[in-house]
Amino acid sequence: MINLETVKRWALEEINKESEGESFIYKNSERGGDGVVCEYVEMDLDSKSRYVPSCLIGRMFLNNNVVSVEDLLEGDNNNLAVSNLVQELDIEVEENAKLFLLTLQYRQDDGYTWGLAYEKAADMAEAEADRY
């Protein structure tokens, strides 16, 4: 089962890989009717023959072998909210970790920097954990 500390560590690892670090803003998304729609993977523009991780959750899950590119390209999985994705793929995630991932995804899609998205997600998950 994936827990909160694990997803927080994965997120920080991916944020720190970006040259802009915590200031990075995810721009590889389409504007949907209600805002931004990210994809977990996208076509590699250099090779045009393979898919690479795109958004923060996609990078976290692929780089830690939680899912495969094939898993994400099946059906609508590449565009599902992370809470639906983990359910669809039977990925066991603790509730506060799921809340962290969902908040992280929503804040990223709202145009927050990855650092601020991380802070908001961590605050939300920890506040929820403190309730119990």
Encode the chain (132 residues) as per-residue pLDDT tens digits.
999 999 999 999 999 999 999 999 987 655 444 455 678 998 888 887 889 898 999 999 999 999 999 999 999 999 899 999 999 999 999 999 999 999 999 999 888 999 999 999 999 998 887 665
Cα separation, 55 vs 98, whole angstroms: 16
Print the domain residue range for 60: 4-130
CA dihedral 30, 34, 38, 39 (to 10 degrees): -90
Cα separation, 58 vs 77, whole angstroms: 11
pTM above 0.85, yes or no: yes
Single-letter amino acid code for the residue at 129: A
Domain count, the chain: 1
Q: What are phi and psi of 32, to 5 degrees?
A: -90, 180
Single-letter amino acid code for the residue at 9: R
Name 53's bridge partners: 41
